[in-house]
Amino acid sequence: MSERQQSRDEVVVARLIHEKSYDAIVVKEILARANVARSTFYAHFDGKEELLLSSIRYVLAAARDQLSELSDPVDQLLYFSLPVLQHIEARRQQAPADAPRSGHRQVHRRLERLLLEQVEADIRRSSLDRAMPPELLAKHLVTTFLGVIDWWLHRRPAPSACEADDAYRALVEPVLRKNRCA
């Protein structure tokens, strides 16, 4: 599937999530809105779950592509935050103002699972000297990130993605920069 088609399918799912819960969305709706044949869709995805996970992986991979530009170990560990927030912000601007927010929890659970795996692996490879177990630190970073997203999605007027990222970093950077033996 082309990058353009994947992006179109992702936009369709994002719009549908603003209309109804993720669980209520059926593949038939995705196909109709994206103007994609069932056989084409299933040639690339096992179902809507795989499309959602693929979309999340795509956003995280795009963020990771910019990792080489970062020299600070903390920035390297938090590389995902601003790009994911910017992605959400772009999708949020496409949603109707009165769109329900019930679908977000489902997406957040999938994002949490993928981020936990990735962040824990990144912590283990990191040059940060941590006394905290990598799985606990990863859980802290990811659950705090999801908490910031939840806070941000319910704010009116909504702060920008950059402001939400600043809030997230203010919450987690002290833990990452703390020197136990100072």
Q: What are 104-152's pLDDT values in tens digits?
A: 777 888 899 999 999 999 999 887 767 789 999 999 999 999 999 999 9
Residue 182: band (very low, low, confident or very high) from pLDDT cuts 50, 70, 90: very low
pLDDT of 8 above 70:
no
User: How many CB atoms are located within 10 Å of the residue 32 CB?
Assistant: 11
**What's the pLDDT at 169?**
97
Residue 130 host element (H or E): none
Average pLDDT, the chain: 83
Please state the separation of Cα 161 from the chain's center in Å.
12
Confidence of residue 99 (pLDDT cuts 50, 70, 90): low
Say what the pLDDT of residue 97 is: 55
What are the φ and ψ backbone dihedral angles of 139, each rounded to 5 degrees? -60, -40
Going along the chain from its start, the domains and CATH numbers come out as 48-177 (1.10.357)
pLDDT at 50: 87
Determine if the pTM surpasses 0.85: no
Average pLDDT over residues 27-55: 85
Select the more confidently predicted residue: 37 or 118.
118
- Given a cut of 90, whether residue 53 has pLDDT beyond it is no
For position 136, what pLDDT does the model report?
93
Count the neighbouring beta carbons within 10 Å of the beta carbon of residue 64: 15
160's enclosing H/E stretch is none
Average pLDDT over residues 63-92: 88
Q: Is the model more confident about 74 or about 68?
A: 74
Q: What is the pLDDT of residue 32?
A: 85
What's the whole-number mean pLDDT along residues 89-97? 70
Give the pLDDT of residue 181: 44
Is residue 26's pLDDT more than 70?
A: yes
| 78, 141 contact by CB (below 8 A) | yes
**Pairwise CA distance, residues 88 & 11, whole Å:** 11
Q: Do 149 and 164 meet the contact criterion of CB atoms below 8 Å apart?
A: yes
Six-digit token string for 51? 């499309």
CB under 8 Å to 4, separation ≥6 — which residues? none
Residue 90, pLDDT above cutoff 80: yes
